[in-house]
Amino acid sequence: ESGQSAVFDLKAILSLLYLGLLGTALAFVLYFWLLKTTSAVLMSLITFVTPPMALFWGWLIKAEPITWQLILGMLIIFVGIGVVRKAS
């Protein structure tokens, strides 16, 4: 891979636009809209939902295996979220 220069064809440009517009800008707008309409404690829990969602999409799209350790980890995350929500 060394010595190769980047090629900015249509596919690369569309990928960059997708990442910039949907992956960043839309997520930013949704995050701050939710922060305005919900509590900061609830919004802080969003970071804990990311790993289970990544596991789900990896399983769905790439057929990545989900082991019992991953399921246990997801359960711990969801129990933690439930405890925090109940306390607040």
Note every long-range contact of 81-84, with CB atoms under 8 Å and residues 24 or more positions apart, other chains counting: 81/45, 81/48, 81/49, 84/41, 84/45
Contact 9, 18 (CB under 8 A): no
Full-prediction pTM beyond 0.75? no
Chain segment 57-80, per-residue pLDDT in tens: 999 999 999 999 999 999 998 898
Give the pLDDT score at 1.
Answer: 58
Give the pLDDT score at 51.
Answer: 87
Chain segment 29-53, per-residue pLDDT in tens: 988 898 899 888 778 877 888 888 8
- How many alpha carbons fall within 13 Å on the CB side of residue 50? 7
Average pLDDT over residues 3-22: 86
